Amino acid sequence: MKIRIGVGSIVVACCIALFAAGCKKGGEQQTGHLQVVTTLFPLYDFARTIGGDKAQVTMLLPPGVEPHTFEPRPEDMIRISRANLFIYTNKYMEPWVDKIITGIDNKSLRVVNAGERVKYRPGGNDDTHEHAHGQISSMNNNHEHDAKGMDPHIWLDFANAALMVDTILDGFVAADPANGGFYRQNAETLKTRLAALDDKYRKTLASCSTRMILHGGHYTFGYLAHRYGLEYHALSGISSDSEPSAERMASLVREIRSSGAKYLFAEELLSPRLTETLAQEAGVGVLMLHGAHNLSREDMSRNVTFFDLMDRNLKQLQKGLQCRAR
């Protein structure tokens, strides 16, 4: 994960402090809405659902930008400094957060680690023998872990997503207790939809001819596979810019051929070129899955939701794993 935080960031932080000091009141008082800044798309979508018309929710990631290599800009730090709530996924997904926050002088800013309630799984590809059936590891926020060793894609287990909703809700209520009832009602509705989505996935994926997700990209769908008893083989590691070895690529082609799979999965928003090459070598088709880190400009303009993306994924999984129609 390429993040540049150094002397330049310190200078920017000083500028932010001066900027924030010039603001007599926080964003909530200035606009009449709670000002919420999020990092990734799932947080943005959950927060805007919880906040409804009482919050102004924005996302740091520009449309189409890959989050693993995202570098916070000076204007991003200014946006965070003016917010009432800043919501991020976890320290594995956004290891730059602590350094950013220490440079912001806004005592009213509440920082929410949306993944603080979640049990984390080790991430990795087949070379490290850390498949979807690996042991679950819990995260202690007071203990340092190797950021490369834990899988940050927690939202793709919908039980985890519900825990994230609870944590985001706590942040809203703490920042704006007068509207706590409104936020709680919206969060309960959101969790009900997540439970229904989980049930739909479980029933659909129970009838598949193959139980193996073969993915020609980075290690994204481990949580999803583990929740529904699927085996998951990814070409490369957790970060999207990790480079697979020639041996690993040859190994994946052998796995495709031996498994009898008809499709290799690629990930939306990332180039499918390598996946298409491997699929051609193995004689199979390519289907797209969405990791939901971010949206394309087209999807953003169409106001696509997390549930839209997950419904899209389920249709692709149903086809790729040869599941019976329900």
Range 246-261 average pLDDT: 92
SS3 content of the chain, % helix, strand, coil (to 5): 45, 15, 40
3-state secondary structure of 267: strand
Instruction: Convert the pLDDT of each residue in 170-197 to its tens digit.
Output: 999 999 999 999 999 999 999 999 999 9
Contact 215, 232 (CB under 8 A): yes
Query: Which domains, and CATH codes, for the chain?
Result: 7-123+151-198 (3.40.50.1980), 200-320 (3.40.50.1980)
Q: What is the pLDDT of residues 134-154, one digit of tens each?
A: 332 333 332 333 345 799 999
Residue 241: predicted pLDDT = 65
Query: Do residues 66 and 269 lie in contact, with contact meaning Cβ atoms separated by under 8 Å?
Result: yes
Higher pLDDT, 124 or 218: 218
pTM over 0.75: yes
**Which of 16 and 77 is assigned the larger pLDDT?**
77
Q: Using pLDDT thresholds of 50, 70 and 90, give the confidence band for residue 106.
A: confident
Query: Is residue 303 left, alpha or beta, with left meaning phi > 0 and alpha meaning psi from -120 to 50?
Result: left
Q: Measure the CA–CA gap between 84 and 23, rounded to whole angstroms.
A: 13
Which pLDDT does position 31 carry in this prediction?
59
Q: Give residue 240's pLDDT.
A: 62
Percent of the chain scored above 90 by pLDDT? 69
Find the angle CA(123)-CA(124)-CA(127) to the nearest 5 degrees.
160
- Token pair for 161: 């997503």
Contacts of residue 144, defined as CB under 8 A and 6 or more positions apart, other chains included, come to none
Q: What is the pLDDT of residue 149?
A: 78
Residue 6, pLDDT score: 43
Lowest mean pLDDT among 143-152, 200-209, 304-313: 143-152
Residue 268, C-beta contacts closer than 8 angstroms, at least 6 positions apart: 288, 289, 290, 291, 296
Query: Helix, strand or coil for residue 33?
Result: coil
For the chain, where are the alpha helices, taking DSSP H only?
7-21, 27-31, 41-51, 74-81, 97-102, 158-175, 180-205, 222-227, 246-259, 273-282, 297-301, 306-320
Examine the pLDDT at 112 and tell me if it is beyond 80: yes
**pLDDT tens by residue, 59-68:** 999 999 888 8
What burial class does residue 230 get, using C-beta atoms within 10 Å of its C-beta: 0-12 exposed, 13-18 middle, 19+ buried? buried
**For residues 210-239, average pLDDT:** 93
Answer whether 8's CB lies under 8 Å from 36's CB. no
Instruction: Give residue 239's pLDDT band: very low, low, confident or very high (50, 70, 90).
Output: low
